[in-house]
Amino acid sequence: MKKLISILTLFVMIFIAGCKQKEQKTIGFLYPSELILRYNLESNFFKEYCAKQGVEVIIKIASDDESIQMELANEMIEQKVDVLVLIAANIYSAGSIVRNAHIEGIPVMAYNRMIKNSDVDFFIASSNDVVGKAMVDAVLKEKPSGNFVILGGDKFDKNGEDLYAAIKKYLKPKIDNKQVNIVYETFIEKWGEHCCF
């Protein structure tokens, strides 16, 4: 996680280097829900790292509501942040946030979720294929064979869809040779509200 945030921070610093000269550089970091531990940890690590570089980070959380996220984004745009880092509550409606930021000359970095219907300046995320393989390897280490249940993420989240496909891909050899039997599989809508990470 820290490696991914360090890469994110590096690219944001490159964006900031190209911004108009002003004394204090400011980054807006906007994410959808405080219920997802990962986003809490990553945003705080990002803020701490940027503070060491002399850059202020404003963190806002949208309570998993796309209209609230729009309001918070507009506040950050009005505050003239130098860069907006956005984990979209809704990958489709968040395109208007990108367009509003661009009108004011603010670059937008989509983090973890690619924003549809927009021209983001940069996108950074982990590889769902690598994550899926790691999950399958960990499960098979504990239970090399038997009946399995697959609970995928939200099917309307591209990450959930890609991760689900990776899990199926890496389980396929075990399924084909009858070591693993999938007894149930489904997607979980709004999975972030039901998990701890």
CATH number of the domain bearing residue 70: 3.40.50.2300
Residue 197 pLDDT: 42
Number of domains observed in the structure of the chain: 2
Angle at CA of residue 185, ends 177 and 196, nearest 5°: 120
| Boundary-marking domain end, from 124, 143, 159 | 124
- Do 14 and 103 fall into the same domain? yes
Residue 12 pLDDT: 58
Structure tokens belonging to residue 79: 């505050």
Q: How far apart (Å, rounded) are the C-alpha atoms in residues 60 and 6?
A: 20
Q: How far apart (Å, rounded) are the C-alpha atoms in residues 105 and 82?
A: 9
- Do 180 and 146 meet the contact criterion of CB atoms below 8 Å apart? yes
Residue 9 pLDDT: 57
Task: Identify the residue whose tokens are 């060491």.
Answer: 52
- Do 136 and 43 fall into the same domain? no
- Do 141 and 187 fall into the same domain? yes
- Do 187 and 106 fall into the same domain? no
- Do 114 and 58 meet the contact criterion of CB atoms below 8 Å apart? no
- Do 172 and 186 fall into the same domain? yes
Residue 29 pLDDT: 96
Q: How far apart (Å, rounded) are the C-alpha atoms in residues 143 and 148?
A: 9
Residue 77 pLDDT: 97
pTM for this structure? 0.71
Residue 187 pLDDT: 83
pLDDT (tens, 9 = 90+) of the chain, 197 residues, equals: 555 555 555 555 555 554 455 577 899 999 998 888 888 998 999 899 889 888 999 999 999 899 999 999 999 999 999 999 999 999 899 999 999 999 999 999 999 888 988 999 998 887 889 988 999 999 999 999 999 999 887 776 777 788 889 999 999 999 999 999 999 998 877 655 545 44
- The residue segments making up the domain with residue 176 are 128-193
- Do 54 and 91 fall into the same domain? yes
- Give 181's strand partners: 147
